[in-house]
């Protein structure tokens, strides 16, 4: 794994070379080589750069990357959201060769069409939005930037239907609020249709849950979240066996002092979302960046792992009464670096899971909190204690 470079905003894992071992794919590093990168897993928790990959010459930049089989050929394909450039999809033609598969998606340098509005995203997801058997593309608006100016599109969320070699933008949602870089998609209520949950960098935004029944997404209000806060991390537990799912939020208040960073859970019922329950809170500006749900201690229950911007990992184990705090520990990320993405997976074939974290920052010697090497990846073996009943 790289130990240098601004690896932001998102990565994904899949088996690209059909050896039964998970590999790592990431978009271009900020200020680095302007194309995606794939590292092949060794089966021991290590990765090596796949140097034989070939990507079409496109105006890539840093942003999110997700993996899915968009053309149903059994091979992992890529979708990328690049800062101020837009969205694109690349199909896997085997042996590390990728080709464009992106008709209907806008992807260009801002200077190529200086009068055209820009929709860019750093939070993507694949889901079968209209239940036709194909993966559709869902993207959250990255929002205001220093260089975007007034050219940025207002849509908080977009859904592009997969029309087999082209992508159809659904009608634009007018009720959604905010912009951000946190997105989760799953079937929350068990009706077979996916819902999308977004974070928001707009203070106090509450229309964060989006549904569409296969058509234009509509948003609903989730009351009870802090009114003077931004939502920086989200997750959905999908409905299972007739049991509705859950919503998870990480928020940071914007009141001057004291600043509170909180983690909330909402249950879903036939009447909608319940009042949020606070799971964790800190008097800090260290915002939650990633919420992961997994059976960490192999007791058959889904536990909670949440990771902050500075790389602090917090684990809550599930028991018959709910969640119980287990431990917190730093993910060895240097001061000045910021966490951007994280994933849990079995990377070495041994009992337990590995946590993979990407981070980035500026390596400026004149700044006290510089990020050494501008960032990189860090990996950890996770061994929480057994939950007490």
How do residues 225-282 score in pLDDT, each as one tens digit? 888 999 999 999 999 988 999 999 999 998 777 789 999 999 998 888 889 999 999 9
Q: How far is CA 329 from CA 141, 311, 326, 351, in A?
A: 32, 9, 10, 21
What number is the average pLDDT over the span 170-194?
A: 87
Banded pLDDT at 191 (limits 50, 70, 90): very high
CA angle 24, 25, 27 (to 5 degrees): 145
Q: What is the pTM of this model?
A: 0.94
Mean pLDDT of the 14-26 span: 97
Task: Give yes or no for a contact between 229 and 252, defined as CB atoms under 8 angstroms apart.
Answer: yes
Q: What pLDDT shows up at residue 134? A: 98
pLDDT at 112: 86
Beta bridge mates, 92: 98
Give the pLDDT confidence score for residue 146 in this predicted structure. 47
pLDDT for the residue 147: 52
- What percentage of the chain carries pLDDT values higher than 70? 95
Measured distance CA(114)–CA(102) in Å, rounded: 21
Q: What is the mean pLDDT of residues 340-347?
A: 97
The mean pLDDT value for 92-114 works out to 93
Average pLDDT over residues 165-173: 88
């Amino acid at each position: 794994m790289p130990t240098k470079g601004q690896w932001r905003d998102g990565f994904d894992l899949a088996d690209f070379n059909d050896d039964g071992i998970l590999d790592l794919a990431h978009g271009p590093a900020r200020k680095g080589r302007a194309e995606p990168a794939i590292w092949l897993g060794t089966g021991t928790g290590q990765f090596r750069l796949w140097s034989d990959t070939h990507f079409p010459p496109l105006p890539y930049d840093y942003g999110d990357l997700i993996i899915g089989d968009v053309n149903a050929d059994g091979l992992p394909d890529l979708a990328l959201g690049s800062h101020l450039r837009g969205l694109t999809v690349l199909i896997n033609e085997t042996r590390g060769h990728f080709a464009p598969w992106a008709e209907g998606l806008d992807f260009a340098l801002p200077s190529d069409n200086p009068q055209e509005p820009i929709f860019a995203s750093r939070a993507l997801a694949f889901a079968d939005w209209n239940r036709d058997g194909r993966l559709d593309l869902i993207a959250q608006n990255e929002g205001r930037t220093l260089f975007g100016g007034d050219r940025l599109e207002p849509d908080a969320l977009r859904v592009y239907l997969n029309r087999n070699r082209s992508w159809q933008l659904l009608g634009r949602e007018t009720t959604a609020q905010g912009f951000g870089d946190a997105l989760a998609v799953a079937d929350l209520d068990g009706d077979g249709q996916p819902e999308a949950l977004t974070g928001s960098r707009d203070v106090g935004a509450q229309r964060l849950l989006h549904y569409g029944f296969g058509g234009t997404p509509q948003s609903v209000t989730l009351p009870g979240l802090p009114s003077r806060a931004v939502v920086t991390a989200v997750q959905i537990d999908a409905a299972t066996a007739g049991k509705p799912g859950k919503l998870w939020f990480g928020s940071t208040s914007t009141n001057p002092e004291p600043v509170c960073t909180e983690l909330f859970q909402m249950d879903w019922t036939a009447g909608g979302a319940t009042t949020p329950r606070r799971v964790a809170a800190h008097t800090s500006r260290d915002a939650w960046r990633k919420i992961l749900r997994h059976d960490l201690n192999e007791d058959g229950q889904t536990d909670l792992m949440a990771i902050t911007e500075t790389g602090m990992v917090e684990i809550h184990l599930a028991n018959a009464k709910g969640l119980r705090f287990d431990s917190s520990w730093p993910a060895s990320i240097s001061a000045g670096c910021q966490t951007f993405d994280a994933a849990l997976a079995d990377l070495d074939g041994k009992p337990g899971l590995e946590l993979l974290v990407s981070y980035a920052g500026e390596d400026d010697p004149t700044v006290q909190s510089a990020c050494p090497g501008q960032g990189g990846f860090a990996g950890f073996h996770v061994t929480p204690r057994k939950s007490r009943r």
